[in-house]
Amino acid sequence: MAVLVNASRGRSADRSDPAVRVGRRRHVREDDEPGERRHRGHRAVDLVTGCTPLHLLEAPTPGSGKGLLADVVAIVALGRPCDPTTITPDEDEARKKITSILARAQPLILLDNVRDGLDSAQLASALTAETWSDRMLGQTRMIDLPNRATYRAALRAWKEYFGARDGQRAVRLDEITPARWLDYRAWRAKTRNSTHGTKTTVSARTLNADQQSVVRILNEAVIDGHLDANPLAGIKKLRETRRPRRYLTKEEIGRLIANCPEHFRPFVVTAVYTGARKGELTRLRWSDIDFAGARISLYRPKTGTADLLDLHPAVAAELVGLRESREAVLPDDHVFLSCRGTPFKEIRRSWALALKAAGLEGREGLTPHSTRHSFATHYLQNGGAVTDLQQQLGHAELATTQIYASALSGRRRATVMALDFAPTR
């Protein structure tokens, strides 16, 4: 995401103004001396280290074409003009506006008609943060909105392969052909998404996700008139290997809970009794827990929905003990904290320690997501309905939930063998 600021030269032209101070290195004012230009360029790079650059479009008077210049930038970057908005001096209103903009995932924001300076603490926070946290409008729920591109790994790979390199210019959209895409896919299959964890290359599923994203981009290019047809429309996806979903037995779950690090046990207990995803639990706040009504209000960033889950007594006991162990708990505080006392960003280390302590280390396929598989499997084994499980897990499609039924082969066999159609005598 990038921010364009459209300002007429009033108080905002003051060199001490934040709108000028955070301008990027390419912004140079016409009345700058050469020495000042060099100084401002270096200073801007040092100040703005976040993922959201801000560019100032400034002119002596209104009506001099700053909006047209912003449209040119937007059309080159996005293929369409950028809708203008304003930023208010009221910090609460500015926060609400930023939340609304980020919720729509706008890649380019135009702040128009900045006349009396740009001094907003909320905007400054948005310019330097990778994640924007705020309360959903009209609700008590907090949401965390990404403040950068969604497909970071894919975009990084596309830029490395299709971007300018080895003295050659970048590939244009109309130069993407089926053959070129297949060459990219062969190259991409040898790369990795992350520098962490085991050194494995990307899977067929990742390659298919890449293709699906590019197909959508090219479809938009066709709609906007940049292409006559989508060159990748007829390319089949790779066959994805479906690995068996590893779940924990009841005895293994008991061992895991009993041997968990103290700071991690409440997280594991909540995971196995709710089937919630890791990302849904790491963003959970105390205001989402209704102890009196025995409910958990769960926001699902993967589907953009929210559900009310039943609060199991075992989970309630863990969370009550967790809350009482902390000196002061505010409604907006995260429920689950790492051993450092900060909100969880990654739980792989804690999960590995828990597996090792429970004697489950080295079991192939045992990941934090296994708690979700375990919940689903035992839910069905206990006679739960697949449709109820779909709602509990937050699946958009019933077919996704039905995959878990494949683990019940023993129950299915017993049911089949119990059938008796012999005529009675």
The confidence band for 135, taking pLDDT boundaries of 50, 70 and 90, is: low
Summarised one tens digit per residue, pLDDT across range 281-333 is 998 999 999 999 999 998 887 777 788 999 999 999 999 999 999 988 899 89
- Average pLDDT in the chain: 76
The confidence band for 186, taking pLDDT boundaries of 50, 70 and 90, is: very high
Residue type, 316: A
Stronger pLDDT, 85 or 310, i.e. the higher one? 310
CB-based burial of residue 70 (10 Å sphere; 0-12 exposed, 13-18 middle, 19+ buried)? buried
Q: To 10 degrees, the CA torsion angle through 282, 286, 288, 289?
A: 110
Write down the domain spans for the chain.
2-146, 152-223, 250-413
CB neighbourhood size of 403 (10 A): 13
The confidence band for 276, taking pLDDT boundaries of 50, 70 and 90, is: very high
What pLDDT sits at residue 419? 67
What pLDDT sits at residue 62? 67
Stronger pLDDT, 80 or 229, i.e. the higher one? 229
The domain made up of 250-413 has a fold known as hpI Integrase; Chain A (1.10.443)
Residue type, 142: M
CA dist 45 and 41 (Å) reads: 7
What pLDDT sits at residue 288? 92
What pLDDT sits at residue 122? 75
CA dist 306 and 285 (Å) reads: 14
- Average pLDDT on 82-96 reads 75
The confidence band for 205, taking pLDDT boundaries of 50, 70 and 90, is: confident
What pLDDT sits at residue 193? 66
The confidence band for 139, taking pLDDT boundaries of 50, 70 and 90, is: low
What pLDDT sits at residue 325? 93
- Average pLDDT on 364-370 reads 87
Lowest mean pLDDT among 118-127, 137-146, 331-340: 137-146
Over 80: is that where the pLDDT of 85 sits? no
Stronger pLDDT, 3 or 187, i.e. the higher one? 187
What pLDDT sits at residue 92? 74
Lowest mean pLDDT among 236-250, 357-371, 378-392: 236-250
- The residues that bridge with 165 in the sheet, in sequence order, are 168
Comparing C-alpha atoms, which of 400, 366, 372, 371 is closest to residue 386? 400
What pLDDT sits at residue 260? 93
Q: How far is CA 294 from the centre of its chain?
A: 29
The confidence band for 244, taking pLDDT boundaries of 50, 70 and 90, is: low
What pLDDT sits at residue 127? 67
Contact status, residue 314 vs residue 273, Cβ threshold 8 Å:
yes
Check the CA dihedral 138-139-142-147 and report its sign.
Answer: negative
Summarised one tens digit per residue, pLDDT across range 8-50 is 544 333 333 333 333 333 333 334 444 443 333 333 333 334 4
What pLDDT sits at residue 140? 58
Q: Which two tokens stand for residue 71?
A: 């449209």
CA dist 61 and 79 (Å) reads: 28
The confidence band for 411, taking pLDDT boundaries of 50, 70 and 90, is: low
What pLDDT sits at residue 76? 73
Share above pLDDT 70 across residues of the chain, in percent, rounded to a whole number: 69
What pLDDT sits at residue 166? 83
Summarised one tens digit per residue, pLDDT across range 94-125 is 777 777 777 666 677 777 767 666 667 777 76
Residue type, 333: D
